[in-house]
Amino acid sequence: MLNTQELLLHYIEECIGSMCRAPETWGSPESLELQALQLMELRAIAVRPMTFQRNHRETMKVYHNFLVNVLKSDPAFPLSSALAESGRLDELPKLIGTLYSEVKSRLPPESLFRDHDLVIELTLERGAEPRFSTVCSYYEEFQKALRGILRSTGEKEIGKTDKETREILKAATDYTLPDMRVIRDENGTRMQVSLLQPTNGQLRFDGTTYAETSIRQALNSALSIARWAEEDTPDMGTLHELFPSDEQRKTIAVQTMRIIPEEGIKEVRVGGRFIGEAEPAMLTAGQAIKLMPVLKEGEKPKNISYTGVVRAVDLDQKWFRLRYRETTVRCWVPENHEALNIATEALASKKKISVVGEEYRLARKRPFVETDNVKLAA
């Protein structure tokens, strides 16, 4: 079944074809030309909606240049009148077809990642239904990650209170939502969220403005670590060259963990003009476990033995959440797949489990555990 855009484009193609084959059925030559132009502008709205909002004269510009080439002089409007004066009116149907080909060539359909400021595309796990809550939950973490990087890299120079900093960062990352689409095809279900940079998102700290450039750098930092973690065997030396500061490297890694997909999302692509890369960055569940060495580097772990209940399990990222006493901690199991099976069984049966491992406590970050042994509690 064709969607609305495909139906409209099919209709426009049929109409233009009819104008070229049987122009007399469309009225006078001037009426024929004006109807063709209107159809071409409708096409621009259908395939280039974001661009059309910024510049609704695109089609007329192509038309103007076409007139110059055809008439070899200053253009006269409409074309039909100029052709009639020179005795070439019979060429009009063919020229309309040529103009339509020119419009399609010069005004191609928008590229999702090329023509928008920022795009987040969520590919859902097979069988998962698209829900608005999925987008909201992910976007909330996405914003928190950006603000976390910005806050940590700039707060020493800001001189503002935590509350003031949060308000400024909130305004700077409060993107507008011009479009959201759900696409179902052979690749599965994708939720595409197109975003525009807020015009009032200026980060002003003591007279210094951290606007779009600072946010762009923060986002690209997270995506750089994600691209690094996508490699088969990520090299720590490469990451050290990208981020020489230990604190900055760990902070960005922690915040990047926020935007790695989980809970029904198979993968995420992030791109757009704002990113400045030809191809969008890919975020997958498998990247999470590869970031663990970054978080552990230089840290002194504490040997732990906790008994509690399992609150959640992520088989792709290889972790489970353990609730013990009044605390919840994420437990990673990079090698011991049986531990995940035990955690999954405990989650379903609501039985307690015992976890032995090493707990890492990053400065100002939530602790996490790398497990050595997991078993059902007696």
Burial class (CB in 10 A: 0-12, 13-18, 19+), 14: exposed
- Does one domain contain both 79 and 16? yes
Rounded mean pLDDT, 245-259:
88
Please report whether residue 111 resides in a domain: no
Q: What is the pLDDT of residue 91?
A: 94
Please report whether residue 314 resides in a domain: yes
Under a CB-based contact definition with an 8 Å cutoff, are residues 86 and 95 in contact? no
Domain count along the chain: 3
Mean pLDDT of the chain: 85
Residue that is written with structure tokens 């059902």 in the block: 376
* Least confident range of 32-46, 87-101, 238-252: 238-252
- Does one domain contain both 123 and 64? no
Radius of gyration of the chain, Cα coordinates, nearest whole angstrom: 28
Whether 84 shows a pLDDT value over 70: the answer reads: yes
Rounded mean pLDDT, 175-204:
76
Pick from 339, 315, 336, 319: nearest CA to 328 = 319
How far apart are alpha carbons 83 and 79 in whole angstroms?
6
Whether 335 shows a pLDDT value over 80: the answer reads: no
Q: What separation, in Å, do the N-terminal and C-terminal C-alpha atoms of the chain show? A: 57
Widest CA span in the chain = 98
Angle at 249 between CA 243 and CA 255, to 5 degrees: 130
- β-strand 368-376 against 352-360: which pairing, if any? antiparallel
Whether 3 shows a pLDDT value over 90: the answer reads: no
* Least confident range of 213-217, 235-239, 259-263, 349-353: 213-217
Pick from 339, 292, 306: nearest CA to 320 = 339
Q: What is the pLDDT of residues 338-362, one digit of tens each?
A: 889 999 999 999 999 999 999 988 7
Q: What is the pLDDT of residue 76?
A: 65
Rounded mean pLDDT, 7-21:
95
Domain that holds residue 150: 118-296
- Does one domain contain both 136 and 182? yes
- Does one domain contain both 335 and 288? no
pTM: 0.70
How far apart are alpha carbons 342 and 375 in whole angstroms?
7
The packing angle between helices 92-106 and 4-21, to 10°, is 150
Residue that is written with structure tokens 């139906």 in the block: 7
Please report whether residue 113 resides in a domain: no
- Does one domain contain both 153 and 94? no
How far apart are alpha carbons 83 and 76 in whole angstroms?
10
- Does one domain contain both 266 and 123? yes
Alpha helices in the chain (DSSP H): 4-21, 29-47, 49-54, 58-71, 79-85, 92-106, 132-158, 162-172, 212-229, 236-242, 246-259, 286-290, 292-296, 337-349
